[in-house]
Chain A
Amino acid sequence: MDTLVTINVVSPSQDGAEKAMNAALSEVEKLEKLFSFFSADSEVSLVNKNAGVAGVKVSPEIIYILDRAIIVSKNTHGAFDITIGPVIMLYDFYKEIRPGERAIKKNLPLVNYKDIVINRDDSTVFLKKKGMLIDLGGIAKGYAADRVVDSLKKHGIKAGLVSVAGDIRTFGNKPDGRPWKIGIRNPRAKGAEDDIMAIIELSDMAISTSGDYERYFVQDGKRYHHLLNPKTGYPAEGCQSVSVIAGESTFSDAFATGIFILGPEKGLKVLAAMGFDGVIVDSRGKIHITANIRGKIEFKRNP
């Protein structure tokens, strides 16, 4: 996980703020150990290694995040699916490698969140088919942001902003009493001047963005990005970016991914059904926003 975490707190004392931030730092370290897809002894890796063989005992945090992930899967018609592991592994966005149709067809049957078996009595997680792989990349950062905020609140912090690689959770207001100002990145920015396309004001809300410009390469005029449709194994095509505003980062992170894959029409329906707000930039660059945030968002005019 090469991740930039920023913690901002509002506090009457520097000492209190530092104590709270150090506690939050420990929290992040702990989560990193649990979730790492790459680290051989993380709990997630052990579950993956035992796919089709046996259930693995896991910490309550893992059970919690899996439950949340499955809720998002159910509410996005399966567009968000953490079992996408075997297919995303076929792509390498740095080396610009993508799988052929045969490889995708071979691995697609391993993608199905319904094959995750959670046993609450003995706290185990079992993946039904050999070769199944869970990838928590689409939800772990949001969850981390929520945990950091919980930790800060427990240490008496009343207001702050936490960002885990662009998954942002705010609580309370800034020292001047105003809400936090969050910039939303322009998915087709050409440079620093047009990098931010909108500024939204948030109080006690989380915002996350999924975009086709985060990890991608272009081959034969086609963009291959990391937000794969679990039904096809190919990158989803309806959007350039999706930002979701919800009460918790775990949901804004995962729903941003799911809604991106669903596309603007189905995506807006999911936002309405969940009572979330959002900003969708569709594949043609047209911007769709939910009615609620009209007064809270300002779009920059690009020259």
Chain B
Amino acid sequence: MADRVLLSLLILLSLSGVIFVKEVLPEAGNVQIEVNGHPVYMLSIDEDRIVSVKGPEGETIVEIKDRKVRIAQSPCLNKLCMKKGWIEHGALVCLPNRVVITIGDFKKVDSQRGIESPFDAVDAVTG
């Protein structure tokens, strides 16, 4: 029985038709920050940190604290990404500045051993 791998692909469609493609979401416990589709940071969600990334519009400041993540500052017009506040799972996106932050939920799986999901882990969120 071949090992089965769970792979993920994240695509962003924007009004201007630009598409960012990213492969393989980070594993559980990791916070991945990408700019323009390229990973810039892979951080542990367990360590409080403030980092700054530079996108085409300017600096986006990302904060990790108490196992939560937020966009503290971003140069976009609408500040929608900042209004989302703190997240514990899923993704945060600042489209104008091309910044994508994902919190890893997945464990790479070997079908022979199976997986034990943490109680709160979901594969996707609707709503």
Q: Using CB atoms and an 8 Å cutoff, list the residues of chain A in contact with chain B.
A: 1-14, 17-18, 21, 24-25, 28-29, 32-33, 38-39, 94, 161, 163, 166-168, 174-177, 180-185, 187, 191-193, 195-196, 199, 207-209, 211, 241, 243
Contacts and interface: CB of A to CB of B under 8 A. Distances in A.
B47 interface: no
Nearest to B91: A4
B21 interface: yes
Contacts of A176: 109, 111, 114-115
B11 A183 contact: no
Contacts of B115: 174-176
B10 A6 contact: yes
Interface of B: 2-15, 17, 19, 21, 23, 68, 78, 85-88, 91, 93, 95, 109, 111, 114-115, 117, 120-127
Contacts of A192: 68, 85-88
B10 A182 contact: no
Given A7-B8, A12-B3, A241-B127, A25 B19 contact: yes
B20 to A, nearest CB: 10
A168 B11 contact: no
Contact of A6 (B2, B4, B8): B8
A166 B127 contact: yes
A14 B4 contact: no
28 contacts: A3-B12, A5-B10, A6-B8, A8-B8, A10-B6, A11-B5, A12-B3, A12-B4, A12-B5, A14-B5, A25-B9, A32-B13, A33-B17, A39-B17, A163-B124, A166-B126, A167-B126, A174-B109, A175-B4, A175-B5, A176-B109, A180-B124, A181-B122, A191-B85, A192-B86, A199-B122, A207-B126, A243-B126
Contacts of B95: 2
A248 B126 CA distance: 15
A11 B127 contact: no
A181 B123 contact: yes
B127 A243 contact: yes
Contacts of B93: 4
A199 B126 CA distance: 10
| Top-9 shortest CB links A-B | A185-B127, A209-B127, A183-B122, A12-B2, A175-B109, A5-B11, A183-B125, A175-B4, A192-B88
B98 to A, nearest CB: 13
A183 B14 CA distance: 25
Nearest to A24: B9
Contacts of B124: 6, 8, 161, 163, 168, 180, 182-183
The CB with the most chain B CB atoms within 10 A, among A2, A6, A24, is that of: A6
Contacts of B19: 25, 29
A128 B54 CA distance: 50
